[in-house]
Amino acid sequence: MVSFLFKRLIQSVIVMFTVALIAFTMFQFVGDPINNMVGQDTTQEERDALRERLGLNDPIPVQFGNFVLKAAQGDFGRSYKYQVPVSELIFDRMPATLELAFVSAILALVIGIPLGVYTALRRSGILSKFIMTMSLVGVSLPPFLIGILLILIFGVVLRWLPTFGRGDVIEFTSWSTGFLTASGLKSLILPSITLALFQMTLIMRLVRAEMLEVLRTDFVKFARARGLPDRLVNFKHALKNTLVPVITITGLQLGSLIAFAIITESVFQWPGMGLLFIQAVSDVDIPIMAAYLVLIAFFFVLINMIVDVLYYAVDPRLRSDDE
Amino acid sequence: MKLRHGLMAAAAAAAISVAAPAANAETFKFAFQGNLSSLDPHSLNESFLLNTLGNIYEGLSMYDENLGIVPGLAESWETIEPTKWKFNLRKGVKFHNGNDFTAQDVVFSWKRALTEGSDQKVRASKIKAIEVVDDHTIIVETPAPNPILTSDLVFVYIMDKEWSEKNKATEATSPSADNTNNYANLNANGTGPYRVVEHKADIKSTFEKNANYWKKTNSNVTKVEFTPIKEAATRVAALISGELDLVYPVPVQDWKRLDEAKGVKALAGPEARTIFLGMDQGRDELLYSNIKGKNPFKDIRVRQAFAHALNLDAIKKKVMRGAATPSGLMVAPQINGHNAEINIPYAYDPKKAKALLTEAGYPDGFEVTMDCPNNRYVNDEKICQAAVSMLAKVGVKVDLLAQPKSKYFGKVLAQGGYDTSFYLLGWTPGTMDSENVLSTLLSCQNKETKAGGFNLGNYCNPKVDELARKVGSETDQAKRNAMIKEAFSIVKAEYGYLPLHQQPLSWGVSDRVTVNQRADNGLDFRYVNVNK
């Protein structure tokens, strides 16, 4: 177990290092940060001096080396645009993104699993067919469009829900939450549905496929032959056995929820890390972009690791191999 | 007895009228596409930041609602010698923290604006020395005679010396890592009509009315909330849904939607920004063209042909939805030195253009690449596309390279080595005076004098250079304007640039409020009123 974790840890470091390297190579194509940092009256000498002070004249490998050295000590530099430490900015925005991703994940599970079970059991029912068709729409419509549509319907026409922002938040020392105020909860509804929709349909289709598979297996047939009621067969025997892959996928998808929150956050002006990143791209705020990408890589690596450990705990065969 | 009753009634009425604004606390909410990235008035020379901070901080002079220069923290001024100005500072002005405003604050702020991280060095360097006569009188010495010093000083905001020293913010906030003086980056203490209550750089900023402001304002707004909203569609939705009172900019194509929606309208006044095309006239061979060994743009007939090939009315109608002002001059009507006579655009005459090209030796036209930003000006890429198709009609094949502004500016500006043959650019002189256009856009590129820094195509005429220099130091307004006119006439006759239009401002406003749309896209809270 320990050696397994250790191996994983080394792999994680390599992954993050690679992400940082790719990110740094890409930054050369984003554009010139200096023009976003000075006004039109600023002289060329001052522009050059600023470039020198920021170390932008150094060769890329040197810039990358400096970044890695400092990042290893937890220092991601200062944002060009906001002129405050990047780590401060990111930790300030993180609660918004995590709360959004968390609510979306719950929504996707709570709605996706029952729908998957239902469509598997009533394969030819009209309602099932309708749900399956709708799920196609959910998969194929881009989140940007869904977000705008929801804003138009519930924000502009019906005026039930706010069209942007996070509402009022309550600040704790290092966490700001929108869960405790009415406007915070109302503001969560549209963005979390937008973000959850894709995962919801994915989970639903996964559960349905797995259920159909399991329902055909011998032990389910035996269970039926034993005269067990449908409810017990379907939920205790069948569903339980479909959940292992569902847990894996959900875990992995949690990472994408955080990463793909970028689009949802920018449509709803949700003040999370994704919005910070998107803004940084147009401002060519390299320190923010670099830190964000490394952090997202870290999230993915961490979630993968947890999923692997869970596997380890769930599947006895893995354990016996190791010992 | 009757008299006494009358007096009491009058007193009561007075009390009510005084108390009324406080009783109805009016909140004004607005959104802009970008962030208020810093509260430090010397950190970044960006129009949204400076205009917004202008509600919190003030300079010695300031803009009125029409961009006219009016006294600000200086009550009055006079020139005692060509290079010496006497400023009488306003008495009884207090900063938001209660400190008195004195001459020491002016000296301190000027010096702070010259520190390493400051982006206001250009403006602050218009002052060579400040002599403090007494607490409310200073004598400012300029390096050279400067007729528009008070325009230069509008955005040199005055900070409180004591407050800055106490909070170790005596230097301008800078992104370079060794600067840790960022208290003023996230906190503010000005003399302006509004004070900062809360500020989170890219989330939300809240301002409240400064009850001790030195001048009575007509605004009934007691609280202002600002949220940056990046997506245009979200901004517009937030306005129509009634959550916000003002959003800007609104995409031109959404104007119709605003007009159809209830309770909101589009506000599209003219902006002081002129959009124009520039041509490389400096190099002996164009960087991006199929013509080798010579530069077609050095031939005045080619430039003239381009001028006659462009149909400015069509661009106005088709691309700008009728909301642009075609221009024949490099400055807008709001800019000092504008001249209606020279402002008549070049006539649209494709036949003449074709004939001129043939005469110049290009009967079949030629190929050239055009650089264009796609997220900087109103419909910038569409304007370029329109120009490309108009030039195609006279035989010039233009290859369009439209890029985001970060890429575009990195290529075409000085740091990219003016790497362009043909480009679109927009310009608002920061001083609202033609001198800035003459020296930065119309003077020959000159590394020593720093003139012509944004003259990307290096249009160069020594006569214009000389006029530009003289305009910079001539203090007689009539003579000065005559020289500006002469310079503009030369550039026009030589087809040095191809002005297109002044673009519209584009704000979406709720019927709940009235606002003043300043031509530099500035929002002055003092002119905002919530309708009852």
pLDDT in tens, A274-316: 999 998 988 889 999 999 998 888 888 888 888 777 777 766 6
> Does the pLDDT value for residue B173 go beyond 60?
yes
Q: Which residues of B touch A83 (CB under 8 A)?
A: 37-38, 40, 43, 173-175, 179, 182, 185
Within a domain: residue B471?
A: yes
Neighbours of A282 (CB within 10 A): 18
Which residue of chain B has the CA closest to A162? B243
Q: Which residues of A touch B182 (CB under 8 A)?
A: 83-84
- The alpha carbon of residue A300 is apart from the nearest alpha carbon of chain B, in Å, by 26
Within a domain: residue B243?
A: no
Test A42 with B410 for CB contact under 8 angstroms: no
Q: Report the CATH number that the domain containing residue B92 is assigned in CATH.
A: 3.90.76.10
Test B237 with A163 for CB contact under 8 angstroms: yes
Cis status of the peptide bond prior to B499, with omega within 30 of 0:
no
> Does the pLDDT value for residue B23 go beyond 70?
no
Taking the C-alpha atoms of residue A237 and residue A246, their distance in angstroms, rounded to an integer, is: 15
Does one domain contain both B423 and B283?
A: yes
Within a domain: residue B215?
A: no
Nearest to A40 among B35, B404, B430 (CB): B430
Taking the C-alpha atoms of residue B399 and residue B387, their distance in angstroms, rounded to an integer, is: 11
Residue where a domain stops, chosen among B183, B200, B224: B183
> Does the pLDDT value for residue B21 go beyond 50?
no
- Summarised one tens digit per residue, pLDDT across range A62-94 is 888 888 888 888 888 888 888 888 988 999 999
Does one domain contain both B277 and B400?
A: yes
Q: What is the model's pLDDT at position B58?
A: 97
Bridge partner residues of B70 (DSSP):
B62
ipTM above 0.90, yes or no: no
Q: What is the model's pLDDT at position A196?
A: 92
Q: Give the residue-averaged pLDDT of A101-130.
A: 91
Which residue of chain A has the CA closest to B446? A44
How many independent structural domains does chain B possess?
Answer: 2
Contact B151, B431 (CB under 8 A): yes
Label residue B177 by pLDDT band (50, 70, 90). Answer: low
Is some CB atom of chain A closer than 8 A to the CB atom of B417?
no
- The alpha carbon of residue A267 is apart from the nearest alpha carbon of chain B, in Å, by 6
Angle at B326 between CA B325 and CA B329, to 5 degrees: 110
Nearest to B237 among A42, A92, A151 (CB): A151
Does one domain contain both B282 and B399?
A: yes
Q: What is the model's pLDDT at position B358?
A: 96
Residue B497 or residue B201, greater confidence: B497
- The alpha carbon of residue B1 is apart from the nearest alpha carbon of chain A, in Å, by 55
Residue A251 or residue B70, greater confidence: B70
Does one domain contain both B173 and B308?
A: no
> Does the pLDDT value for residue A184 go beyond 70?
yes
Test B243 with A30 for CB contact under 8 angstroms: no
Q: Give the global pTM.
A: 0.87
Is some CB atom of chain A closer than 8 A to the CB atom of B514?
no
Amino acid at B318: K
Contact B206, B214 (CB under 8 A): no
Q: Is the dihedral of CA A222, A228, A234, A238 positive or negative?
A: negative
Test A38 with B44 for CB contact under 8 angstroms: yes
Q: Give the residue-averaged pLDDT of B74-88.
A: 95
Q: What is the model's pLDDT at position B25?
A: 79
Q: What is the DSSP letter of B67?
A: S
- Summarised one tens digit per residue, pLDDT across range B368-419 is 999 999 988 999 999 999 999 999 999 999 999 999 888 899 899 988 889 9
- Summarised one tens digit per residue, pLDDT across range B40-71 is 999 888 889 999 999 999 999 999 999 999 99
Residue where a domain stops, chosen among B137, B163, B183: B183
Q: Residue B229's closest CA among B241, B220, B212?
A: B241
Candidate from B171-185, B421-435, B457-471 with smallest mean pLDDT: B171-185
Share of chain A above pLDDT 90, in %: 29
Q: Give the residue-averaged pLDDT of B343-353.
A: 96
Taking the C-alpha atoms of residue A295 and residue A136, their distance in angstroms, rounded to an integer, is: 32
> Between A126-140 and A86-121, two packed helices, what is the crossing angle to 10 degrees?
150
Q: Give the residue-averaged pLDDT of A42-55.
A: 85
Nearest to A42 among B38, B122, B240 (CB): B122
Contact B254, B281 (CB under 8 A): no
Q: What is the model's pLDDT at position B178?
A: 57
Does one domain contain both B277 and B172?
A: no
Q: What is the model's pLDDT at position B8?
A: 44
Angle at A300 between CA A298 and CA A301, to 5 degrees: 65
**Tokens standing for residue B55:** 């509600």
- The alpha carbon of residue A9 is apart from the nearest alpha carbon of chain B, in Å, by 31
- Summarised one tens digit per residue, pLDDT across range B480-531 is 999 999 999 999 999 999 999 999 999 999 999 999 999 999 999 999 999 9
**Most A-contacting residue of B53, B126, B174, B176 (CB-CB within 10 A), to test interface:** B176
> Does the pLDDT value for residue A250 go beyond 50?
yes
Does one domain contain both B165 and B283?
A: no
User: Domain range for residue B103?
Assistant: 41-183
> Does the pLDDT value for residue B16 go beyond 80?
no
Q: What is the model's pLDDT at position B139?
A: 97
CA dihedral A85, A47, B403, B284 (to 10 degrees): -160
Test B406 with A34 for CB contact under 8 angstroms: no
Reading phi first (left if > 0) and then psi (alpha if -120 to 50, else beta), residue A83 is in: left
Within a domain: residue B477?
A: yes
Test A44 with B229 for CB contact under 8 angstroms: no
Which residue of chain A has the CA closest to B231? A267
Test A32 with B405 for CB contact under 8 angstroms: no
Q: What is the model's pLDDT at position A37?
A: 83
- In total, chain B counts a number of residues equal to 532
Give the helix ranges, DSSP H, for chain A.
Answer: 2-27, 44-53, 60-72, 86-121, 126-140, 143-150, 182-215, 218-225, 230-231, 240-267, 273-283, 286-314, 316-322
Does one domain contain both B303 and B401?
A: yes
Taking the C-alpha atoms of residue B267 and residue B264, their distance in angstroms, rounded to an integer, is: 10
Label residue B180 by pLDDT band (50, 70, 90). Answer: low
Q: What does DSSP say about strands B270-279 and B397-403: parallel, antiparallel, or unpaired? A: unpaired
Does one domain contain both B158 and B302?
A: no
Within a domain: residue B346?
A: yes
Taking the C-alpha atoms of residue B270 and residue B324, their distance in angstroms, rounded to an integer, is: 7
Residue where a domain stops, chosen among B151, B183, B215: B183
Does one domain contain both B373 and B500?
A: yes
Q: Report the CATH number that the domain containing residue B320 is assigned in CATH.
A: 3.10.105.10
Q: Residue B461's closest CA among B485, B488, B443?
A: B443
Taking the C-alpha atoms of residue A6 and residue B220, their distance in angstroms, rounded to an integer, is: 65
Does one domain contain both B163 and B276?
A: no
> Does the pLDDT value for residue B179 go beyond 70?
no
Q: Which residues of A touch B174 (CB under 8 A)?
A: 53, 83
Is some CB atom of chain A closer than 8 A to the CB atom of B232?
no
Nearest to A83 among B43, B404, B410 (CB): B43
Q: What is the model's pLDDT at position A260?
A: 80
Within a domain: residue B439?
A: yes
Within a domain: residue B415?
A: yes
Q: Write down the mean pLDDT value for chain B.
A: 91
Candidate from A66-75, B31-40, B298-307 with smallest mean pLDDT: A66-75
Does one domain contain both B492 and B390?
A: yes
Label residue B18 by pLDDT band (50, 70, 90). Answer: very low
Label residue B356 by pLDDT band (50, 70, 90). Answer: very high
Q: Residue B144's closest CA among B155, B166, B128?
A: B128
Restricting to B residues 314-353, those with a Cβ less than 8 Å away from any Cβ of A are: none
- The alpha carbon of residue A85 is apart from the nearest alpha carbon of chain B, in Å, by 9
Q: What is the model's pLDDT at position B181?
A: 54
Restricting to B residues 63-122, those with a Cβ less than 8 Å away from any Cβ of A are: 119, 121-122
Label residue B14 by pLDDT band (50, 70, 90). Answer: very low
**Tokens standing for residue A299:** 């999230």
Q: Residue A17's closest CA among A89, A74, A68?
A: A68
- Summarised one tens digit per residue, pLDDT across range A202-241 is 899 999 998 898 888 888 888 888 888 888 888 877 887 7
Q: What is the model's pLDDT at position B9?
A: 45
Q: Give the residue-averaged pLDDT of B4-29.
A: 53
Taking the C-alpha atoms of residue B497 and residue B426, their distance in angstroms, rounded to an integer, is: 12
Q: What is the DSSP letter of B347?
A: P
Q: Give the residue-averaged pLDDT of A97-109.
A: 93
Test A282 with B237 for CB contact under 8 angstroms: no
Test A32 with B175 for CB contact under 8 angstroms: no
Q: What is the model's pLDDT at position A1?
A: 66
Q: Give the residue-averaged pLDDT of B176-180.
A: 57
> Does the pLDDT value for residue B17 go beyond 50?
no
Q: Which residues of A touch B38 (CB under 8 A)?
A: 82-83
Within a domain: residue B153?
A: yes
